[in-house]
Structure 1
Amino acid sequence: MRKLIAALAMAGLAGLTACAPASEAPAPASTAPASGNSVAKPSKSASAGASTGALGVKESCERFNSLVVDLRAVKAEDSDGYDDIYFRAQEAKDAATGDIKGLFAAVSMLALDRSLGETPSKQSQDAIRDAVFANAGECTAEDVTLTY
């Protein structure tokens, strides 16, 4: 089952990384890391899409930071913990809009690598870097600094 999920996620990620802008890189961030709270707080910028269950930009950026904190907190031998992060990232990706979806797809890939007992692949590491760079400006405009 996990290998099937891995194959599906890799196929989705390949299309995602092709969309990331190559020339944009944000200025270095200098804010405190997000808390370990895995529940994102609703924000004013959740926009009209919030009524349909869609995440606004600010909430998406905060949820990404929360997932990264939770991903780092999972013990190496806890594949169920990594699976949980994977599924939470997939749910967030489904609720997010636009390019922000790439943040959650990249977290899914990292969690999947870890769930399979592997160190993150070069492709997963590149995907998270590209997704952070591609969305940093939009998140910064909402007063959220992406942490990874």
Structure 2
Amino acid sequence: MKVTIYTDGSARGNPEGPGGYGTILEYIDPKGQLHVKEISQGYRKTTNNRMEMMAAIAGFEALNRPCEVALFSDSKYLIDSFNQHWIDNWMRRNWKRGKNEPVKNVDLWKRLLKAIEPHQVTWNWVKGHDGHPQNERCDELATTAADGDALIEDKITDK
């Protein structure tokens, strides 16, 4: 089965309050029906790249069987980490960028690697707010999560 995942990390909202992310999964079942699953979460005091990673994790963890996945993200950091194989070098260097500079969010990177393991994945960068309607929808979800009164918690952590 082919699945498309659109992610968006958003640092909007109260800078002292939650940030958020949005994820949309799309696939067509064997009967030709389009299915769309939307995921939105809020987080406190975190970075946009970290939220983009959490958005990707949420998308992959929502898949219940191995799939051919095309992931679209407006985070060049996330996409380049896979397309330019930074992630492989980090693992070989025991999660260090250089001699003594640790990779940030290692627990989230490891969780993302575990989540993508059963899938065949292509990583695609799209310029944010540039005519990709589903990516824009993800941004709306992320903004809603960030601006909402209620903070939606998830078990994605990095402590």
* Larger Rg belongs to: 2
Higher relative contact order (CA closer than 8 Å, sequence separation 6+): 2
More strand by share: 2
The verdict on a shared fold, with TM-score over 0.5 as the criterion, is: no
Which TM-score applies when normalising by structure 1?
A: 0.31
